[in-house]
Structure 1
């Protein structure tokens, strides 16, 4: 990460603004089956212990919407037959709860650089719908142990979150 942090602030700031503009079209035109084939194993890996412990049972027959506005990406997640299920939003069906946050904030949460409660109170993480369901999901996310992530995912999340945090602090003069 020291290489990234050695870049001038203007380059880091512009890169953080530029990356979503590249990812947005890629996500828009990539078939959801391809995205699901990448995202579902990643989520299963991240939440392996919680899945093994049955911690996702609260999501049985319920849908949680995850919306990442800066990427123009939304997917729904549920739990059925002891496994996670991913879907695109379904016309005529409502989600039970929704999470909405930009990609940078989600990386900061994943990298333990920002507390979800702080982002919630700053209105940078929006949780709507079934409040109890939303809080269960938030608590589950809080319980993730970064050390249990595959090393490449851990490395990416830790370094991306560190760069985002450092760049934002530097922009604020902290």
Structure 2
């Protein structure tokens, strides 16, 4: 049986930021609120290498994150139309193609990928900016930095769900 971590971060008896002097803490907080993901593209060689590697480990990581969010910030009832449909996320500059589906047990990797019902493609920087709410899906889509292929109804459902997510629910208090 795996041993749990000795003390989860959420149960620390103090705020780690309180260890910093007041002025430094305020400067760091101010910088973090204005921090933006720099514009970058991963090297082409990395994409060629990653494309040759098994795609299951990063797909498992993605589905784990999605399942952690499912029911907490991703409402199950809203995602019902995704049930049984194959989704694909392509991280273009990383050479990753992640195939997964929503089942009764949550998001699961698809082992034998067929033609996906919906494919979302972008650079890693754009997916990070989307997750951090620096940019919204519409901006990325209309600037051709996020591509959606396949079932447009599913694409709109995913986009609207991402827009409605309460990201503040993930913050530690």
- So what's the TM-score if we normalise by structure 2? 0.65
Residue of structure 1 in register with 2:164 after alignment: 143
Q: Is 1:80 aligned with 2:103? A: yes
CA contact (8 A) 1:24 1:73 kept: yes
CA distances 1:11-45 after superposition (whole Å, capped 9, x unpaired): x66xx34xx33864774566444334433221212
**Among residues 131, 142, 145, which one is paired with 1:110 in the alignment?**
131
Query: Residues 74 and 123 (structure 1 numbering): CA distance in 2 closer, same or farther, change over 3 Å?
Result: same
Residues 139-148 or 94-103, more deviating? 139-148
Higher Rg: 2
CA drift of 1:144 comes to 2.2
- So what's the TM-score if we normalise by structure 1? 0.65
Residue of structure 2 in register with 1:43 after alignment: 66
Partner Cα separation in structure 2 for residue 150 and residue 36 of structure 1? 24
Q: Which structure 2 segments of 5+ residues have no match?
A: 1-27
CA contact (8 A) 1:64 1:96 kept: yes
SS of residue matched to 1:49: coil
How big is the alpha-carbon RMSD for the aligned residues of Structure 1 and Structure 2?
Answer: 3.0
Runs of 4+ aligned structure 1 residues displaced above 3 Å come to: 21-34, 50-53
Q: Which structure 1 segments of 5+ residues have no match?
A: 7-11, 152-174
CA drift of 1:53 comes to 3.5
Paired positions, count: 139
The structure whose residues are more often helix, as a share, is 1
Partner Cα separation in structure 1 for residue 91 and residue 168 of structure 2? 25
